[in-house]
């Protein structure tokens, strides 16, 4: 099993190009099920979850190929779904990736039936699929869960609904948005999630011929059409990857420019880091917007409190990384996790590195600055992995981050990108003791 070995204490200086957003790419891949025509998606991050989703699509009757793009950190997918007599997303593919549930809505909308294994993914708390199933049942689907699988069918086309989600859910919003694109009538989705990745999916669907109003708001109005067509689409930059590198510089010090990112998608984090003492500059680049973050060695960080909330609030996917930053800030930081109930698993590993913190339910209290020293730590989920890497960049001596298969699910070439800005980090095989 691969590990990352980090020699801490190096300031980061240089440039990093941000890859496409994994959390936008996955629903966009699922949307290819809605048409028999060719769909070409570019700027997909070259991560494990993307390859898994493509395998799921292939199992569902999609002719799909992945080709390297640019420096190899991104991929282009060419997809054409002719369909399958028995569309089934099997457990051996679905078990590692929660986003596989996103094929359910498109399959029902286009083929009238689907069998999808109940999904897996990071163990960060309960993320029930009931919000997906309730809306699909209201649209006319008959759904049964047995032996770990969701069995769904509908006679004719799905029917439009006026539906208010009882809880803001990114996945449920995406699934029902795709289903509604081919449903009969006009669907209104209220209390819809507003994340930029949903807006990117909606823009793809519009290119495919869908009729959608209210993109970027909490109310989406979708007038169903009988058929969607193919198109080409470039996935938006990954705000969580960009945020992770911003946090790395904030913690370890340095001066780094991020190419191809979207500052508006990161406003909550940028505000936090600026108030903490980092200097951040936004500007236009040759390949989209750029962000420059500066924190010189010896410049003190100020502790700040955060509460994770649905977008445009502070993203839960950056909570762990910011906790690593706050270990280096002067004062007390209170971090409230408002989305998931089990997302402080990285806290104990940060303590092993020397962090001064404690957790109580949904709240973590971090006192800093703490002198971190290297040791072996274990990643427990995707974003926890990133937090441990950030802490390792700060810690004196050698830090070994184990179980980085979590990291590979969401970051393309993270160690290579960090090497490019001066970090002493390398990937080694499982034989290392």
Are the C-beta atoms of 433 and 408 separated by less than 8 Å? Answer: no
**pLDDT, mean of each 10-residue run, the chain (433 residues):** 95 97 97 98 95 94 94 95 86 80 95 86 53 96 91 96 96 97 98 98 98 98 98 98 98 97 97 98 90 94 96 95 98 92 85 96 95 94 92 98 91 96 92 37
The fold of the 22-234 domain, in CATH, is UDP-n-acetylglucosamine1-carboxyvinyl-transferase; Chain (3.65.10)
Q: What region, left, alpha or beta, does residue 140 occupy, with left being phi > 0 and alpha being psi -120 to 50 degrees?
A: left
Q: What are the C-alpha distances in Å from 418 to residues 115, 256, 360, 412?
A: 41, 10, 33, 11
- Compute the radius of gyration of the chain from its Cα atoms: 22
**Coil, strand or helix: which one is 41?**
strand
Does domain 3-18+237-428 fall under CATH 3.65.10.10? My reply is yes
Partners of 116 in beta bridges: 89, 150
State which H helix or E strand residue 172 sits in: helix 170-181
Q: Which two tokens stand for residue 75?
A: 């991929």
- The CA angle 30-19-75, to the nearest 5 degrees, is 55
- Res 125: pLDDT: 39
- Res 303: pLDDT: 98
Q: What are the C-alpha distances in Å from 71 to residues 18, 67, 189, 386, 414?
A: 12, 12, 39, 22, 13
DSSP character at residue 264: G
Question: Cα separation of 69 and 108, whole Å?
Answer: 32
- Res 100: pLDDT: 85
122 given a catalytic annotation: yes
CB neighbour burial string for 331-369, b if at least 16 within 10 angstroms, e if fewer: eebebebebbeebbbbbebbbbbbbebebeebebebbbb
Q: What is the pTM of this model?
A: 0.94
State which H helix or E strand residue 402 sits in: strand 398-402
Q: Catalytic pick from 28, 81, 122, 261?
A: 122
Question: Cα separation of 221 and 177, whole Å?
Answer: 9
Question: Cα separation of 207 and 25, whole Å?
Answer: 15
| 402 contacts: CB under 8 Å, gap ≥ 6 | 1, 3, 376, 377, 378, 379
Are the C-beta atoms of 65 and 77 separated by less than 8 Å? Answer: yes
CATH 3.65.10.10 domain range(s) in the chain: 3-18+237-428, 22-234
- Res 120: pLDDT: 54
Q: What crossing angle do the helices spanning 104-111 and 22-31 adopt, rounded to 10°?
A: 20
Concatenated DSSP letters for 91-131? HHHHTT-GGGGGGHHHHHHHHSEEEEEPP----SS---SHH
């Amino acid at each position: 099993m691969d590990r990352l070995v980090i020699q801490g204490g190096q300031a980061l200086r240089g440039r990093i190009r941000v890859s496409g957003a994994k959390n936008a790419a996955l629903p966009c891949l699922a949307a290819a099920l809605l048409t028999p025509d060719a769909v070409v998606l570019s700027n997909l991050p070259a991560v494990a979850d993307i390859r898994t989703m493509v395998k799921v699509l292939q199992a569902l009757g999609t002719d799909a190929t992945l080709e390297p793009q640019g420096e190899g950190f991104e991929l282009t997918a060419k997809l054409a779904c002719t369909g399958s007599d028995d569309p089934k997303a099997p457990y051996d593919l679905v078990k590692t990736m929660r986003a596989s549930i996103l094929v359910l809505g498109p399959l029902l909308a286009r083929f009238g039936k689907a069998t999808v294994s109940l999904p897996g993914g990071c163990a960060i708390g309960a993320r029930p699929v009931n919000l997906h199933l309730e809306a699909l049942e209201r649209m006319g689907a008959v759904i049964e869960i047995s032996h770990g699988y969701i069995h769904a069918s509908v006679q004719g086309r799905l029917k439009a609904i006026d539906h208010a989600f009882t809880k803001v859910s990114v996945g449920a919003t995406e699934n029902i948005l795709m289903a509604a694109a081919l449903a009969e009538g006009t669907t209104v989705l209220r209390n819809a999630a507003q994340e930029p990745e949903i807006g990117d999916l909606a823009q793809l669907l519009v290119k495919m011929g869908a009729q959608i109003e209210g993109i970027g708001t909490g109310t989406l109005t979708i007038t169903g059409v009988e058929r969607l067509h193919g198109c080409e689409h470039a996935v938006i930059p990954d705000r969580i990857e960009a945020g992770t590198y911003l946090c790395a510089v904030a913690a370890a010090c340095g001066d780094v420019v991020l190419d191809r990112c979207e500052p508006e998608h990161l406003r909550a984090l940028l505000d936090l880091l600026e108030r903490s003492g980092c200097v951040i500059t936004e500007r236009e680049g040759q390949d989209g917007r750029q962000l420059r973050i500066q924190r010189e060695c010896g410049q003190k960080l100020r502790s700040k409190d955060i509460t994770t909330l649905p977008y445009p609030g502070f993203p839960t996917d950056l909570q762990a990384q910011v906790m690593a930053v706050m270990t280096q800030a002067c004062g007390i930081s209170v971090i409230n996790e408002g989305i998931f109930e089990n997302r402080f698993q990285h806290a104990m590993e940060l303590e092993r590195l020397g962090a001064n913190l404690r957790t109580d339910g949904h709240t973590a209290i971090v006192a800093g600055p703490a002198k971190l020293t290297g040791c072996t730590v274990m990643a427990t989920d995707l974003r926890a992995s990133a937090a441990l890497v950030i802490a390792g960049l700060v810690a004196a001596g050698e830090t070994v981050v184990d179980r980085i298969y979590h990291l590979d699910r969401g970051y393309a070439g993270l160690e290579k990108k960090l090497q490019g800005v001066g970090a002493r980090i390398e990937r080694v095989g499982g034989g290392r003791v």
